[in-house]
Amino acid sequence: MVRKQRVPRLRRLLGIAVWVLLATALWFMQTLSRSTTSIVHVPIVYEEMPGEIGLEGDQPTALDVSVSAKGSQLLFRWMKGVPTISLSMPQRVPQGGRTTYNVGTIEGGTSVNAIAQQASMLYEFRSDCKESLEIMDQFFQKVVESYRAMGVTVNVELLGLRPCTGNVDPAKQEDLVTRCSKVMTYYTGVREISTGSASTDCNIPLSLGVPAVCFGGYVGHKGHTRQEFVELDSLEVGPLVVGTVITEYFK
């Protein structure tokens, strides 16, 4: 009698297990046929970064991308694995002076899955050294010509040309920097005023051999980013620094 009771119980348990498996399989098939949204974690790897170039701030190591597709497509992609985004910068900037380059905007295309018939980018390179600026220009022209040789139409429009430092008297330039630094120290109390070379509006007078400096009448942070901000308290001292530098220059 014990054996007879066990057999029906096992059958019932097997039957329940089969129904559960069938229900799971049916649910899985329906899920694969439905459109669903999933968060894909895409890692970022930085490669071929020149040793003399440093990255400021915390660089992103991954992107979380929201993807909407059929469940079967998401499963297929998951099985293949998510490819890594590799960012490389094999082109090294010239050693002379300070040289920078940047792609500010990229535009083009009509849809996320359509090959763009036309695309454009806003590219800029700067340098305070004439030789380095020429090297950057030559490299840019070579890249453009390499794509033209492959039959790609590439149109280049020059939006602006910022010249480099010309024949400026080093003694007069240093004297101007020292005078400005002393004024800043007088009003702010900061003894060590950091200075450096950069490409600014001063390039115009400097290219003509006229000593020039560029500084702000405020204290700010995260410059050239959308998070740039100014310390409001510094606006009380800033105008005094600017005004004194101007009046002292004409004495």
Residue of higher predicted confidence among 173 and 66: 173
Torsion 195-201-204-210 (CA) sign: negative
Instruction: Say whether pLDDT at 229 is over 90.
Output: yes
Lowest mean pLDDT, pick from 26-40, 147-161, 197-211: 26-40
Q: Read off the pLDDT of each residue in 170-180 and give the average, rounded to a whole number.
A: 91
As a dihedral over the C-alpha atoms of residue 229, residue 200, residue 125, residue 167, rounded to 10 degrees, the angle is -160
How far is the C-alpha of 135 from the C-alpha of 74, rounded, in Å? 46
Instruction: Say whether pLDDT at 89 is over 80.
Output: no
Instruction: Say whether pLDDT at 191 is over 90.
Output: no
DSSP state letter for 83: P
**Closest C-alpha to 44, from 26, 30, 64:** 64
How high does pLDDT run on average in the chain? Answer: 80
Cβ–Cβ under 8 Å, residues 88 and 44:
no
User: What is the pLDDT, as a whole number, of residue 2?
Assistant: 47
What pLDDT band is residue 211 in, cutting at 50, 70 and 90?
A: very high
Residue of higher predicted confidence among 53 and 164: 164
How much of the chain, in percent, has pLDDT values that exceed 70?
80
Cβ–Cβ under 8 Å, residues 99 and 133:
yes
Q: Read off the pLDDT of each residue in 143-171 and give the average, rounded to a whole number.
A: 87
**Closest C-alpha to 91, from 103, 107, 108:** 103
pLDDT tens track for 116-133: 888 899 999 888 788 888
Terminal alpha carbon distance of the chain = 119
